[in-house]
């Protein structure tokens, strides 16, 4: 990538950082994407796919029946930015790009420019700008809106910046990249009364306390140590007055896993724990378990395509373990084969971890990211 394009992309990325679009409110970001696509010469653009999603199509020459998708996510998080000294700091109170989606979106715009200027490929390339990745169901909404029927693609590729991995280096996983996830709640109903007369109550707080301990033991004592799982209780609510034993208590949390069997075990144990503790303390229990995203897992052929393309762009790693974070891209992989890679954002220091209020995307990553997206599209069409 030449310096002129890199500087242009940096300007676009910083504009997006300063003007973030919260999940399900990405209309201004989508309009910016459409504007910049037109500026660089893309003419086949469809906005409003699955909400604020944008799909653009590049097509060239014979063999246009061969097709590949490239995806970037666009939404920001409900986090107040802590780095007000940045000239491109968020201008929207309580909203910021704390996960680097501003960089992901810009990198795909850069890939579009690289592909338009490269006469060597033939086929159809879909540029998928996805809304609502951060828990808003954006990928499923695009699928429900006919993404793969309206814009056929044989395979799809995506990426995420990764703090802690050297700047621009690319990590390709053999299979699992990111975990499946679920949110759960366990509620207990008892009988309220005076705190000095506990024998006349059925205390849901007692159930809540035992449940916290039992739930945190699911992975430690129920999951094979060679497998991966997480159960974290993150919210506990009960009571309003210090001298009253409440009638209800609720805890909430999140679960993650890399194997479907582990997820099924975790759900079953959460339900058993809720029912068992309720029976032990004379309470009623209600358990809610809602799966979010499935495991983000590379398919074998597409993994190898992603790695071959990466090796033409930047130093490539094949030895990094999967993360227990989740990724909406997994819903696309449930429809067509594909692969998802990490590209290093540099040192994870000074708060520059994902979802940190001091996070900022590293603009030096843009050449590797745009370069890989363009390279993997060409590799897939030639495969």
pLDDT digits (tens, 9 = 90+) for 221-233: 999 998 999 999 9
Residues 341 and 234 in one domain: no
> Quick check: 21 pLDDT over 90?
yes
Q: Confidence class of residue 351 from pLDDT cuts 50, 70 and 90?
A: confident
The dihedrals phi and psi of 262, each to the nearest 5 degrees, come to -65, -40
Residue 71's nearest CA partner among 14, 188, 156 is 156
Whole-angstrom Cα distance, residue 339 to residue 145?
22
pLDDT > 70: what percent of the chain?
99
The answer to whether 292 and 182 have CB atoms below 8 angstroms apart is yes
Whole-angstrom Cα distance, residue 309 to residue 286?
49
> Quick check: 64 pLDDT over 80?
no
Picking from 231, 265, 291, the residue at the C-terminal end of a domain is 291
Residues 268 and 320 in one domain: no
The answer to whether 372 and 162 have CB atoms below 8 angstroms apart is no
Q: Confidence class of residue 350 from pLDDT cuts 50, 70 and 90?
A: confident
CATH number of 145's domain:
3.40.630.10
Picking from 253, 272, 291, the residue at the C-terminal end of a domain is 291
Residues 102 and 174 in one domain: yes
> Quick check: 159 pLDDT over 70?
yes
Whole-angstrom Cα distance, residue 359 to residue 351?
6
Query: Crossing angle of helices 101-116/27-40, nearest 10°?
Result: 20
Residues 335 and 238 in one domain: no
> Quick check: 58 pLDDT over 90?
yes
Residues 34 and 130 in one domain: yes
Query: Rounded mean pLDDT of 166-194?
Result: 97
Residues 206 and 351 in one domain: no
Residues 132 and 164 in one domain: yes
Is 284 in a helix, a strand, or coil? Answer: strand
CATH number of 241's domain:
3.30.70.360
Stretch (H or E) spanning 360 = none
Neighbours of 319 (CB within 10 A): 8
Number of structural domains (the chain) is: 2
Residue-number span of the structural domain to which 331 is assigned? 3-178+295-382
Structure confidence at residue 297 (pLDDT): 97
Cα–Cα separations (whole angstroms), residue 295 to 5, 22, 171, 177, 252: 35, 24, 17, 8, 22
Residues 317 and 223 in one domain: no
Residue 127's nearest CA partner among 308, 376, 319, 383 is 376
């Amino acid at each position: 990538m030449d310096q002129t394009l890199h500087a242009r992309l940096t300007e676009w990325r910083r504009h997006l950082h300063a003007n973030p679009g919260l999940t399900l409110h990405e209309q201004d970001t989508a309009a910016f994407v459409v504007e910049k696509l037109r500026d660089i010469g893309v003419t086949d653009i469809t906005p409003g796919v699955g909400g604020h999603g944008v799909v653009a199509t590049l097509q060239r020459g014979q063999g246009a029946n061969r097709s590949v998708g490239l995806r970037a996510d666009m939404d920001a998080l409900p986090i107040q930015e802590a780095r007000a000294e940045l000239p491109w700091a968020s201008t929207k109170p309580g909203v910021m790009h704390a996960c680097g989606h501003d960089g992901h979106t810009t990198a795909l715009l850069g890939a579009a420019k690289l592909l338009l200027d490269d006469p060597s490929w033939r086929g159809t390339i879909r540029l998928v700008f996805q809304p609502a990745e951060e828990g808003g169901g954006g990928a499923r909404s695009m699928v429900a809106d006919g993404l793969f029927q309206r814009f056929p693609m044989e395979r799809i590729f995506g990426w995420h910046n990764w703090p802690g991995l050297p700047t621009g280096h690319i990590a390709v996983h053999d299979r699992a990249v990111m975990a499946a996830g679920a949110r759960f709640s366990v509620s207990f109903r008892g009988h309220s009364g005076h705190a000095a007369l506990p024998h006349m109550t059925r205390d849901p707080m007692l159930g809540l306390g035992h449940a916290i301990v039992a739930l945190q033991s699911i992975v430690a004592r129920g999951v094979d140590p060679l497998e991966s799982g997480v159960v974290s209780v993150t919210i506990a609510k009960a009571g309003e007055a210090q001298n009253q034993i409440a009638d209800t208590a609720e805890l909430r949390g999140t679960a993650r896993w890399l194997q479907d069997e582990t997820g099924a075990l975790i759900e079953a144990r959460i339900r058993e724990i809720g029912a068992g503790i309720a029976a032990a303390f004379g309470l009623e229990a209600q358990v809610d378990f809602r799966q979010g995203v499935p495991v983000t897992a590379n398919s074998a052929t597409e993994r190898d395509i992603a790695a071959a393309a990466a090796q033409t762009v930047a130093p490539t790693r094949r030895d990094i373990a999967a993360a227990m974070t989740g990724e909406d891209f997994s819903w696309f992989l449930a429809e067509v084969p594909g692969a998802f890679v990490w590209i290093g954002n540099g040192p994870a220091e000074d708060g520059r971890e994902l979802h940190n209020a001091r996070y900022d995307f590293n603009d030096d990553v843009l050449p590797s990211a745009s370069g890989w997206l363009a390279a993997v599209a060409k590799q897939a069409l030639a495969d």
